[in-house]
Structure 1
Amino acid sequence: MNKKLIALALAALPAAAMADVTIYGSIRAGIEDNKTYSSTFGTNAQGNPQSGVQINDWTSRIGFKGSEDVGNGLKAIWQVESRLHMDGTGSDNLATRDTFVGLAGDWGKVRLGRLSNYANSDMEQVDPGYYSGESVGGLGMFTRLDTRHNNAIRYDSPNFYGFSYAALYAADETRANVNGTRTNAQLINLGLSYENAGYFAKYNFENRGDANKVGAGLKDWHRLEAGYNANNIYVALGYQQVRGYLGQALDSKNNVTGFADSTGVVYNVAALNTAFASSASTFDVTQVVKTKELALTGGYTFGAFTPYLSYAKGYDATAGSKTISNSGYDQFVLGLDYAVSKRTEVYTSYGHVNWKASGVASENSFGLGLIHNF
């Protein structure tokens, strides 16, 4: 991101225009020891992940937002939020995160732009920690579908006796021609919430149209989270079911080349290869692949310390009416947050994933980092 250009642009704005502009963000980085399939260390000759020390960014960001009273109970609202990489990797371009313009009033708010789905913006209570994309020090597999969508419009309702809801629509601006048929892979996302006296319950649904025509992609996804967060007690339970299409044929060794939910994989492709190898020929790659997962997190705050313990379970996936034996996983994460001040935290965690597939190595991560919010 060109920081000098941003500074010049802000300096050029008149004082009145700057009056309602808020600059905010979060700087997060840590040292990690990762032994995972997704780390840059790759795998050894036996196909098992190799370990090593990394200095990684933990999803830092910077944002600019503001509003203007336009009368009749309406406000114009806007936001430009961008990803930052404290470790010097990645592309720090403008507007890579939630970026929008919209209107807000007593009736709620409507926004247009690049917008989070409901799970990404309003859920993830089962995954409160900080970690990199190469780490298993958090429940990143459970929350893998939490993302943002381009070309989106989203409505958020006002709170009514603890209840609220949201609806997002993302247009398909490509409309590809597949086998002589023009597809429409539009996306619909719905969210429902109830919060009262520390108790909460949230539901997310997402559907991608025409996934069957392209033979890949998310078909539908349900997630439910519920729990309690008050009086120093933190408990969150989550359950989700994802259906998508395999999308790619197996290679010459019957290895899975990609499960297709919206991120391209349903768990970890390397871990599923062994589970598929002995019986892959019995599965039709055009059939629906379904996964079910459960997650539970508990924590308790005493003084400046908050320890967390998380557990996630991935059940055996299914393809059509057939079960893919030993394709699930078990994950444990132990985390500790220390609040240095109101805006600065020290966070550490250890995570371990055990894959059910025979011959597939487990994964583990240890991280220690610093977070500062502004």
Structure 2
Amino acid sequence: MKKTLIAALIAGIPAVAAADVTIYGAIKGGVESIDTAGQRATNIEDVGSRIGFKGAEDLGNGLKAIWQVETGVAIDNSANSGNWASRQSFVGVTSDFGTLRLGNISNFGDSDLGNVDPYEYNSDALGLGIYTRGNTRVKNAVRYDSPEYAGFKAAFLYGTEEDKSINTNFNPVDPTTIKNKDRETYNLGLGYNYGPMFAKYAYTYRTKYNAPVDAPAEKGTQHQLEVGYEANNLFVAAGYRLSKGDYDQTFANSFVDLSDLNAATLNTKLGKFESSEYALTATYSIGNFMPKVSFVQGTDVKVDGSKLSDSGYQQFVVGTDYALSKRTVLSAQYGHIKLDDNLAKAFGDDKIDAFGAYVVHKF
């Protein structure tokens, strides 16, 4: 039996080689020290290690079949390694008319609007993870990307709602308890490049949760805009995002539960939430060094058009990369988040301070 299996594996090697498979990935790890409410925690963290396999087949007449399987791995604790194909994984076709893929696919924010967040990190205090929330992969999705024409490009993604069951554990005081149920996702992306300048826009619409009758489920919408300049070692990007829908669409959900925020602001009503944020990032390459700095401003959260007073936040991150080679980079950064009074009251502190140091190797 063993000989038969070995023979079969050997026989399959030429076929695999002929399929033109590329193995790629990155090992990313570091140390993070986070100070919240006077308590400091220092941890060894994995910050996005992954391994992937991808390939293509020429089908003739300018048409190619493409595929990719990418899996997250955790170097800080092997027991927490990701499931197979847990990251962007797909099968599709590409030609002069564009690219069509289906699988677990990045939305336009994840694939094209990440320039404003150039950091490696696990804690959101050390990067722009709060600002870029929702920029992620969509399971059970199909995405079309147009070819680029005169600097313009477009993309559209649709994600299906496969789990239509109702969450019977719904808590009317905290509507985020229904967030484990699927929504349909529609995502449109537009991009334009003109020399060193670029502009990108993403719109995401998510249908209501399939929730109990008394659940205040709302559709979710998100607008994101990013503009920037990159030339002569200088990179500058500015971003804006507007999020509407359930409470979990807002940045405040990254810090506190709705019930805690209601207690702090003396506002107990549930309704349509809205939050706005602005971001600015700059980097400059000097030899092997690349200093970088970012600022974020989140304005007061709104409920049914009325502001929840003192519910915003401010953040800055400053750090630098040092390239040991084209594939190996050391980095370090300091991050600080300042919460407005009522958000701080709900959170239990008015600030978060963090420091991180990392090493990244790509292959």
% identity of equivalent residues = 41
* 2:4 is aligned with 1:14: no
1:305 to 289, 293, 312: 289
In 2: Cα distance, 1:184 partner to 1:128 partner: 30
1:125 to 110, 115, 137: 115
Q: Using a 3 Å threshold, how does the CA distance of structure 1 residues 291 and 62 change in structure 2: closer, same or farther?
A: same
Question: Structure 1 or 2: larger helix share?
Answer: 2
In 1: Cα distance, 2:93 partner to 2:262 partner: 50
* 2:215 is aligned with 1:234: no
Amino acid at match of 1:84: V
Alignment of 1:260-275 (within 5 A): 260-261=248-249, 266-269=253-256, 273=260
In 2: Cα distance, 1:119 partner to 1:92 partner: 22
* 2:194 is aligned with 1:207: no
* 2:336 is aligned with 1:346: no
Aligned twin of 2:318 = 334
In 1: Cα distance, 2:291 partner to 2:75 partner: 25
Amino acid at match of 2:249: D
Q: Using a 3 Å threshold, how does the CA distance of structure 1 residues 163 and 260 change in structure 2: closer, same or farther?
A: same
Which TM-score applies when normalising by structure 1? 0.83
TM-superposed deviation, 1:68: 0.3
In 2: Cα distance, 1:345 partner to 1:322 partner: 46
**Contact persistence 1:157–1:165 (CA under 8 A):** yes
**Contact persistence 1:31–1:367 (CA under 8 A):** yes
1:279 to 244, 250, 266: 266
In 1: Cα distance, 2:107 partner to 2:115 partner: 15
In 1: Cα distance, 2:71 partner to 2:182 partner: 29
In 1: Cα distance, 2:11 partner to 2:298 partner: 53
* 2:25 is aligned with 1:25: yes
Which TM-score applies when normalising by structure 2? 0.86
* 2:189 is aligned with 1:191: yes
Q: Structure 1, residues 281-334: CA drift from partner, whole Å, max 9, x if none?
A: 3x2x1x110000000001111111110110001100001122111111000100
TM-superposed deviation, 1:211: 4.5
In 1: Cα distance, 2:338 partner to 2:259 partner: 12
TM-superposed deviation, 1:274: 5.4
Q: Secondary structure at the match of 1:56?
A: strand
* 2:138 is aligned with 1:139: no
Unmatched tracts of structure 1, length 5 or more: 1-7, 37-47, 246-258
**Contact persistence 1:218–1:261 (CA under 8 A):** no
In 2: Cα distance, 1:135 partner to 1:323 partner: 25
Q: Using a 3 Å threshold, how does the CA distance of structure 1 residues 11 and 172 change in structure 2: closer, same or farther?
A: farther
TM-superposed deviation, 1:229: 1.4
Aligned twin of 2:225 = 224
Amino acid at match of 1:319: V
Q: Using a 3 Å threshold, how does the CA distance of structure 1 residues 265 and 277 change in structure 2: closer, same or farther?
A: closer
Aligned twin of 1:44 = none
Q: Using a 3 Å threshold, how does the CA distance of structure 1 residues 218 and 53 change in structure 2: closer, same or farther?
A: farther
Q: Using a 3 Å threshold, how does the CA distance of structure 1 residues 107 and 137 change in structure 2: closer, same or farther?
A: same
**Contact persistence 1:31–1:56 (CA under 8 A):** yes
TM-superposed deviation, 1:24: 0.4
Q: Secondary structure at the match of 2:248?
A: coil
